[in-house]
Structure 1
Amino acid sequence: MKFDGLIIGGGLAGLVCAIRLAEAGQRCAIVSRGQSALHFSSGSLDLLSELPDGSPVESPLLALEALKQQAPEHPYSLMGAESVRHLACEAEALLARSHVQLHGSHRSNHLRITPLGTQRATWLSPSEVPVAPLPWKRVTVVGIAGFLDFQPELVAGSLREADIDAQTAELTLPSLDKLRNNPSEFRATNIARVLDNPEQLLLLIGELQTLAQNTDALFLPACLGIENNRSWQAISSALPCPLCLLPTLPPSVLGMRMYNQLRQRFQQLNGILLPGDAVLGAEVSGQRVTALFTRNHGDVPLRANNIILASGSFFSSGLEAKFDGIREPIFGLDIAAPPAREHWCAEDFFSPQPYLQAGVRVDASLRPSRHGQRFENLYAIGSVLAGFDPIRQGCGAGVCVISALHAAQQILETQEAAQ
């Protein structure tokens, strides 16, 4: 099989890159192992929340010059401030075209309310997620009886510290009794599959209408709308006060919804998704990747003009930690990482962990190398890249989206120049 672009990995970076290429008329395919990190995410996207020296960031794009001084190998520093600024705007437009409804702007971070009721700086958040400063004096945090992945009292306690009169309430919802009897099945995604049923939605509205009489807003765990936010909209229109949703412990409904919307957008553009498959090896001629071989296709090669490595970090096996070092398993690419195992982790658990900045070395065009030799048609994007701490710096999703669009731009400009 032959494609214009072949993407290894179906997470946020892989999907965004594939969508951008498909929008430009490229015939693309994604090889995906299965669930992506989006299934475990809050549904919010971070661009840059903190500099390496610990300084908080209010306006991510204005902090890029300082970031370059402190972290010259950060993917944003490699791509260049001007490119990041342009692509951040383009990312918002692409997400909107994919019907991913988010609020926020690349111009400044906002403070979303977390599942613990605290505040966290971020770039874009689902429309349902509340944002500080909260405009309400009284909030009722509503839990679901027996649901352990969301703790209303913890949320209410944090809100009270922010001078909000926060109370708690509990929904019983007999329709969930079957799930409730099996704690391993009583998860947000399974609850959503029940509550998204129109009949059950009416029962939920009835219970929430009672709770909404003596409060300014209701906070509910995000157990609605795996495919879209129509359930939330239907409930909100029937209540006398606003309804907000807070992410739960994984699996995350808001993250899964974003994945489903991006996947649908890619497939509507005639993109081909090869799920449940894994790239096992590659055929290389000179400095070009000429074919990939996957578990499901055996000896049948997959060929493409350009290959995009969006395989993720350790979580999704895009990187592997071995006794002799950290490696990229498909191509054996050059890696930037602490040389000795004892330097991979800091003794203080809450300190920045050096291994999180390990990854594939790339140039300004996001082309990786092997034994110092750059590939001509291979690009690396997303969490597999070196030089950034996605947790401490609050830039994991941003690196995925911006690098995905940057690689797509390099591919399209190279193709245009060759014509």
Structure 2
Amino acid sequence: MAIEQDVLVVGGGLAGITAAISAARSGAHVRLVSYKQSTLRHASGLVDVLGYTPDGEGPLVDPFDAIDDLPEGHPYERVGTDAVASGLALFDEITAGTYEGSHTDANALVPTHGGTIKPTARYPDSAAAGLASDGRDALLVGFERLPGFDAPLAATHLGATGAPFRARGVTVEFPVKLSADPKVTRFAHLLDQDEGIDGGTRGVRRALAELVKGHLDGAERVGFPAVLGDDHPREVRADLAEYIGADVFEVPMGPPSLPGIRLEDRLFAALDEAGVSIETGNPVVGFERDGDTVASVTVSRTGNEVPYAAEQYVLATGGLVGKGLDSDREGVREPVFDCHIAQPPDRYDWFGDDAFGDHPFARFGVDPDRELRPVDAGGTAEFDNLRAAGAVLGNYDFAAEKSGSGVSLATGYHAGTLAGEEAT
């Protein structure tokens, strides 16, 4: 007998979580099924809406000003600005008190661990004192045993961007002896616990501040790699700021990302609060069709194939990077429902000659109608009760546009709301 629910969401990333919460708020019984651990823990924790146009213009001051001019088929063009605003509003509610940026439609400019400046719509409060629009000089601090952040190099790159402040970088040895390749969570936990150094009364936070203070040289703010606490990040930053005598901020890092892990924790807590049933580690391996609808999907659970039936389904499994799309020398496929993926028949037309140029494969994905139902090659919805959201969608290049999180929020909200309304 099939396990039944009103709405079944396949995929546990930002789009899937947003869809599940939106559907649940319509009164639907929702189940989220995800095979792999969410990719949020590998993301920077920044939420981009639109940093650059598809033609490369930018960085954009206000992403909403550019949405109406996006080409037909772009996910934002499919759902409209209201869905973008609603997706952001839901995110703001879920992350209340831990993220900044909701006071304006304009992008903020956030320095990254590589010394670039990223236009983004929402950013962790831990990064707020580091914005590139702030004219105060900044000292960037890296740790000897944390190779993911070369503070002197990042400061040099920031200087080349024309940012309106002077940035310097220094690398120090963390005040606690560590292994050759410690995890980012190791730094965070030591700062959370703040135990005495070498049996003394001086805690880790004060010891670190004393190491940094001698390099301050008039800087009014200090940027650390994003490892400043997991359980008590605000307390860690506040103590460091007091001991150093300057504002303290975190610089977003590459994977594994502590801000991403913090965000994942809040989102999964929101799923629980919304009453969503969550099942991870079990892949969807097939489905049954009944005319123009998906009748059920088959989930592999500890070697057994179990049918799950729903009134409505949302596909949010990710793109090529997240393995929501399969690819080989024969082509690109959507592996769960076998949805149509438009692609040139000649593989040499999948990419451009310039390594950093325009590559068509970056825009491969499911083509949706305005209700986000995947369509076939003729433009007809493949299933009446299936919608797609997030990176599995095509017709946009999230990496070049800096639009990945925004598309996930907007399409997840739109797909989940429609699915929930139709299922109840």
Give the ranges of 4+ consecutive aligned residues of structure 1 lying more than 6 Å apart after TM superposition. Answer: none
| Aligned residue type for 1:72 | E
Which of 82, 93, 96 lines up with 1:97 in the alignment?
93
Contiguous gaps of at least 5 residues in structure 2:
197-201
Distance 1:296 1:251, change over 3 A: same
**Number of residue-to-residue matches in the alignment:** 403
Q: Secondary structure at the match of 1:293?
A: strand
| Higher RCO, Cα 8 Å, sep 6+ | 2
**Structure 1 residue 410: Cα displacement:** 1.7
Which has the higher mean CA deviation after the structures are superposed, 239-248 or 209-218?
A: 209-218
Aligned identity (percent) is 29
Residue 230 of structure 1 pairs with residue 231 of structure 2: no
> Contact 1:228–1:257 at 8 Å: present in 2 too?
no
Distance 1:263 1:277, change over 3 A: same
Q: Secondary structure at the match of 2:18?
A: helix
Which of 47, 63, 75 lines up with 2:66 in the alignment?
63
Residue 393 of structure 1 pairs with residue 390 of structure 2: no
Which has the higher mean CA deviation after the structures are superposed, 353-362 or 20-29?
A: 20-29
Distance 1:29 1:315, change over 3 A: same
Which has the higher mean CA deviation after the structures are superposed, 404-413 or 350-359?
A: 404-413
2:188 aligns with 192
Contiguous gaps of at least 5 residues in structure 1:
none
| Aligned residue type for 1:351 | G
For the residues of structure 1 that align with 2:232 and 2:314, how far apart are their CA atoms? 29
Q: Secondary structure at the match of 2:23?
A: helix
Residue 134 of structure 1 pairs with residue 134 of structure 2: yes
**Structure 1 residue 210: Cα displacement:** 5.4
**Structure 1 residue 415: Cα displacement:** 4.7
For the residues of structure 2 that align with 1:228 and 1:338, how far apart are their CA atoms? 50
> Contact 2:237–2:249 at 8 Å: present in 1 too?
no
2:113 aligns with 115
Please give the TM-score of this superposition, normalised by the length of structure 1: 0.89
Which has the higher mean CA deviation after the structures are superposed, 375-384 or 285-294?
A: 285-294
2:169 aligns with 168
> Contact 2:111–2:117 at 8 Å: present in 1 too?
yes
**Structure 1 residue 412: Cα displacement:** 3.7
Distance 1:302 1:150, change over 3 A: same
Distance 1:51 1:163, change over 3 A: closer
For the residues of structure 2 that align with 1:203 and 1:169, how far apart are their CA atoms? 19
1:4-403 equivalence runs, <5 A? 4-56=6-58, 57-67=60-70, 71-80=71-80, 84=81, 86-99=82-95, 101-105=98-102, 107-129=105-127, 130-137=130-137, 139-161=138-160, 162=163, 164-177=165-178, 180-181=179-180, 183=181, 186-199=182-195, 202-209=203-210, 211-212=212-213, 214=217, 215-226=219-230, 229-235=233-239, 238-239=242-243, 240-296=245-301, 298-369=304-375, 372-403=380-411
Which has the higher mean CA deviation after the structures are superposed, 357-366 or 233-242?
A: 233-242
What does the per-residue CA deviation read over 1:322-373, in whole Å, with 9 as the maximum and x for residues that have no partner? 2221110111111122332111111211102110100012110001145745
Distance 1:202 1:91, change over 3 A: farther
| Aligned residue type for 2:121 | W
> Contact 1:136–1:164 at 8 Å: present in 2 too?
yes
**Structure 1 residue 388: Cα displacement:** 0.2
Distance 1:134 1:176, change over 3 A: farther
Distance 1:232 1:355, change over 3 A: farther
Q: Secondary structure at the match of 1:336?
A: coil
Please give the TM-score of this superposition, normalised by the length of structure 2: 0.88
